[in-house]
Amino acid sequence: EVQLVQSGAEVRRPGESLTISCETSGYTFITYFLTWVRQVPGIGLEWLGHINPTDSFTEYAPSFEGRVTLSVDKSTRTAFLQLSSLRASDSGTYYCARRDSILTGQDLWGQGTRVTVS
């Protein structure tokens, strides 16, 4: 089955860091970019960045630059999001999603990981 399965909910204190994983299956891992999107009630959907698993090329949203790091482990077909210096406004649901090119939409999404910073 083609799917993205994310790690479970996280609770952190302000100033701490977190790592969310996104385990992929059912497709050729290196042929799709992996994108990370955050959803905050009242704010909507925010794009954090994406990574090309072939060469680990990354692109980050300027508002998260310096705090976010995307990576992949090709041996386990897993993508990772690290977010540091957490603040209360980082609370929300984080999604990984795949796209087959840098310009297309995301056709498959993980189930989401709820993050609470308090």
Partner 1 sequence: EVVLTQSPDFQSVAPKEKLTITCRASQSVGTSLHWYQQKPGEAPKLLIKYGSQSLSGVPSRFSGSGSETDFTLTISSLEAEDAAMYYCHQTTDSPNTFGQGTKLEIK
Contact residues: partner 1, CB under 8 A: 35, 37, 44-47, 59, 61-63, 95, 97, 99, 102-107, 109-112
Strand pairing category for 57-60 and 3-6 = unpaired
- Residue 57, strand partner residues: 52
Return d(Cα 52, Cα 23) in angstroms, integer: 15
CB of 31 to partner 1, least distance (A): 17
Nearer to partner 1, 91 or 109 (CB): 109
Please count the helices (runs of H) and the strands (runs of E) in the chain.
0, 11
Nearer to partner 1, 3 or 17 (CB): 3
CB of 11 to partner 1, least distance (A): 20
Nearer to partner 1, 63 or 82 (CB): 63
CB of 75 to partner 1, least distance (A): 26
| 85 DSSP 8-state letter | S
Angle formed at CA 74 by CA 103 and CA 100, multiple of 5 degrees = 15
Would you call 88 helix, strand, or coil by DSSP? helix
Nearer to partner 1, 3 or 14 (CB): 3
CB of 44 to partner 1, least distance (A): 5
